[in-house]
Amino acid sequence: MLELKDISAGYGRINALSGVGLKVDAGRVVALLGANGAGKTTTLNCISRVVALTSGEIHFEGQRVDRLASEDMVARGVCQVPEGREIFARMSVRENLEIGAHLRRDTAVIRQDLDRVCEYFPRLRQRFAQEAGTLSGGEQQMLLIARALMGRPKLLLLDEPSLGLSPLLVEQIFAIIRQLNKEGLTILLVEQNARIALNVSDYAYILENGEIAFEGNSADLVRDDRVRQAYLGA
């Protein structure tokens, strides 16, 4: 479904990614792990066409997409849940969700989807009219995922959904991620929390200093000694 071929990217003179190759097959959960500053967010932003490549190619559903604009990626069904709390703070929860469907014109279906995403996150329904900036951190994370779902993604890019959440909430969010995948959504999951990410994913890549250091089936990586030492603290 998605393939990054040898991509490099940077910020000014800083090189953030050098020669990253990565594949996400339809229907799978693929994890992208790595320490702080390894280049995980940069990778997602290359896919979302927010950060420009300096070399390499990105293919989505058989077509080359690395020259497209960011809205074209959303239109094609690649939606990102960014790290941090990138909500529209002064809009209501409802508007935050509706704006996730900004590029869609099927008003009737959008209304149904509003109900559908609130089934995953009943908490949001109760806060519909509230300003999004007044939500708790966990609720804001739910809102971000729900907003991305409003774009009807085929491929969901998740950037550290567990960051700053209580263990209970992390469990809940990952249960929903599993469920979304079971319902057919393909997911590229960026995480610091390697244990939980390897647990939900089928396949994983590990970034070190902008290069892929390890890759393999998640089940195998969990047992790999080097991975265990560096990322699972064992």
Partner 1 sequence: MDWQLIWLFLQQGVASGLVTGSIYALLAVAIVIIFKTTDAPNFAAGELFMAAAYVALYLLVFLALPFIAVVPLSLGVAFIAAALFYRIVLQKIGSSAAVTVNVVIATLGLSFVLKGAVRKTGVGDVPRSFPSIFGNDTITIGQAVLTLQDIGILALAVVSMTIFFLFFNFTRTGRAMRAVGMNPKAAVLVGINLRRTRMLIWGLSGLLSSLAALLIAPKILMTADMGSVVILGFAAAIIGGFTSLPGAVLGGLIIGIAENLVGLFISSRAISVAPFVAIMLVLVLRPQGLLGGKVAVKKV
Closest CB to Mg ion among residues 83, 139: 83
Joined tokens for residue 113 = 């989807």
Using CB distances below 5 to 8 A depending on partner kind, what does residue 65 bind out of ligand ATP, Mg ion, partner 1, none? none
Closest CB to ligand ATP among residues 86, 106: 86
Q: Does 41 bind Mg ion (CB under 5 A)?
A: yes
Residue 60 has a CB neighbour count (10 Å cut-off) of 21
Q: Over the range 63-75, which residues count as b (16 or more CB within 10 Å of their CB) and which as e?
A: eebbebeeeebbe
Closest CB to ligand ATP among residues 124, 161: 161
Give every CB contact of residue 191 below 8 A, 6+ residues apart in sequence: 31, 32, 33, 160, 161, 162, 197
Joined tokens for residue 6 = 């040898």
Q: Does 16 bind ligand ATP (CB under 6 A)?
A: yes
Looking at residues 81 to 100 of the shown chain, list those that interact with Mg ion (rule: CB under 5 A). 83
Is the separation of the CB atoms in 159 and 44 below 8 Å?
yes
Strand boundaries in 12-147, DSSP class E: 14-24, 29-34, 53-60, 63-64, 78-81
For the CB of residue 91, give the shortest distance to partner 1 in the complex, in Å.
7
Q: Does 234 bind partner 1 (CB under 8 A)?
A: no
- Which residue of 100, 153, 161, 210 would you call a contact of partner 1, by CB under 8 A? 100
Is the separation of the CB atoms in 30 and 177 below 8 Å?
no
Give every CB contact of residue 219 below 8 A, 6+ residues apart in sequence: none
Q: Does 37 bind ligand ATP (CB under 6 A)?
A: yes
Joined tokens for residue 105 = 């014109």
Q: Does 141 bind partner 1 (CB under 8 A)?
A: no
Phi and psi based region of residue 67 (left: phi greater than 0; alpha: psi -120 to 50; beta: remaining): alpha
For the CB of residue 22, give the shortest distance to ligand ATP in the complex, in Å.
14
Using CB distances below 5 to 8 A depending on partner kind, what does residue 87 bind out of Mg ion, ligand ATP, partner 1, none? partner 1
Looking at residues 70 to 89 of the shown chain, list those that interact with ligand ATP (rule: CB under 6 A). 83
Looking at residues 174 to 233 of the shown chain, list those that interact with ligand ATP (rule: CB under 6 A). 192
Q: Does 69 bind partner 1 (CB under 8 A)?
A: yes
Residue 103 has a CB neighbour count (10 Å cut-off) of 12
Kindly list the residues in this chain that would bind Mg ion in the complex (CB under 5 A).
Answer: 40-41, 83
Kindly list the residues in this chain that would bind ligand ATP in the complex (CB under 6 A).
Answer: 11, 14, 16, 34, 36-42, 83, 192
Kindly list the residues in this chain that would bind partner 1 in the complex (CB under 8 A).
Answer: 48, 50, 69-71, 74-75, 79-80, 82, 86-91, 95, 98-100, 102-103, 147, 151
